[in-house]
Amino acid sequence: MSIFLATEPPPPSLIPPEIVDAVIDHLASNPRTLRKCCLVARSWLPRSRSHLFRRIAIPTSRLRPFLARCTIFGPVVRSLVFHASDAQFRRHRVNLLCESAARGEFASYASLASLEIRGM
């Protein structure tokens, strides 16, 4: 079994970046295909990610893990929806969300245009 190591950088893409962006934009409503686009080339990742994470909806029960990862995808999120569906912890989690916002934990969401809390 032989192992080949690349000694040269991969050749530049033969497809112009404007065409790649147009193709990815055309696939904006197909998350499954966009996830595969993320794996095609490193240069395809930012545009694909911008469509995949444009709108995020999470239950407030997942708030802490979500906030821990917000620097990863925060810059491309435009709409954020929290679902406060668990009646027992609803008020506590919404307070946690408000406190997190007050502490500036959403600072990485540079493109955030709307924040919605449902189930109140």
Per-residue pLDDT of the chain (120 residues; tens, 9 = 90+): 555 555 665 566 688 899 999 999 999 999 999 999 999 998 999 899 889 888 777 776 777 777 777 666 777 888 888 776 666 556 666 677 777 777 777 777 788 888 777 766
pLDDT value for 79: 83
CA distances from 88 to 7, 36, 58, 64, 93 (A): 59, 39, 17, 17, 10
Q: What confidence score (pLDDT) does residue 59 get?
A: 73
Of 102, 67, 104, nearest to 82 by C-alpha is: 67
* pLDDT at 120 (0 to 100): 61
Which three-class secondary structure state does DSSP give residue 108?
coil
Residue 118 is inside which H or E element, if any? strand 114-118
Cross-strand bridge partners of residue 111 = none
Side-chain half-sphere of 102: how many Cα atoms within 13 Å? Answer: 6
What pLDDT score does 91 carry? 67
Q: Domain locations in the chain?
A: 14-52, 53-120
User: Angle, to 10 degrees, between the axis of helix 17-26 and the axis of helix 45-52?
Assistant: 20
